[in-house]
Every structure is written in structure tokens, then in C-alpha cells.
Amino acid sequence: MEQKEVRKEEAQIQDLISQVRKLVQEIPGISIEKLHDPDTFLADVVEKTDCSETGIAEEVFGIWENSSDKKSVEELFHTICGVAFKDYLAYCVNNTYRAGRKECD
């Protein structure tokens, strides 16, 4: 993508973020069961993700490897998954099936 197009897309995204923040400030104090806000929408999107599809972890690894702001990628991972990226990787190393070492669950 051309630099000018990237800046335009980033500006559009920033404008959308501003709009969402403004809408959230206007939400009245109502029951959480009736609330439709960015957090519930994000939870719905994550819940609908087919995590049994192979390759998702590799996509995340590639995003981190290619990012110029690895700390932000790690913070986003922690925010969405509830676990530090480094801890997740250590868990993968310790629990991924290896021939002769561990049975698959």
C-alpha cells in the first residue's frame, strides 16, 4: 500500500475510534445485560472466531515478528487473551506434542 493510502486509512481508523469513544460516553447507566458497546461487540467477534482453524498462531507470530512496535502487539495479545504473549509461548513450548515425549490430548 502506498504511504499516502496508509496515512488515509490510519486517519479513517482514528476517526472511527473517536466516534466510538464519543458514543461510549453517551451510554446511559443501564443493566449490563442490555448493554451493546465496543467490549460486548469485541467479545462477540472473538467468540465467533474459529480457533480450531490451523495457522492462527503462526499468523500471530508473523504479526509480532514483522511489527516495528512489538510491545503494542504483546499488550494487545494480553488484552484479548488474558495471558502475556511470552507466557503463552512458553506454554506452547512446554505443552506442544513431541514424538516420544507426550501424548496428544
Using pLDDT thresholds of 50, 70 and 90, give the confidence band for residue 90.
Answer: very high
pLDDT higher at 25 or 80:
80
pLDDT-above-70 percentage for the chain: 85
What is d(CA 3, CA 35) in angstroms, rounded to the nearest whole number?
Answer: 39
CB atoms within 10 A of CB 83: 11
Cell triple for 17: 475510534
pLDDT score, position 54: 77
Q: What angle do CA 52, 95, 62 make, to 5 degrees?
A: 60
What is d(CA 105, CA 95) in angstroms, rounded to the nearest whole number?
Answer: 10
Cell triple for 8: 488515509
pLDDT score, position 78: 95
The string of DSSP codes covering 47-101 is: HHS-TTSTTHHHHHHHHHHH-S-HHHHHHHHHHHHSS-HHHHHHHHHHHS--TTT
The answer on pLDDT for 89 being more than 90 is yes
pLDDT score, position 73: 96
> Alpha carbon 13 to chain centroid distance?
16
The answer on pLDDT for 99 being more than 70 is no
Dump pLDDT digits (tens) for 28-67: 766 555 667 788 888 888 888 877 777 889 999 999 999 9
pLDDT score, position 24: 78
The answer on pLDDT for 71 being more than 90 is yes
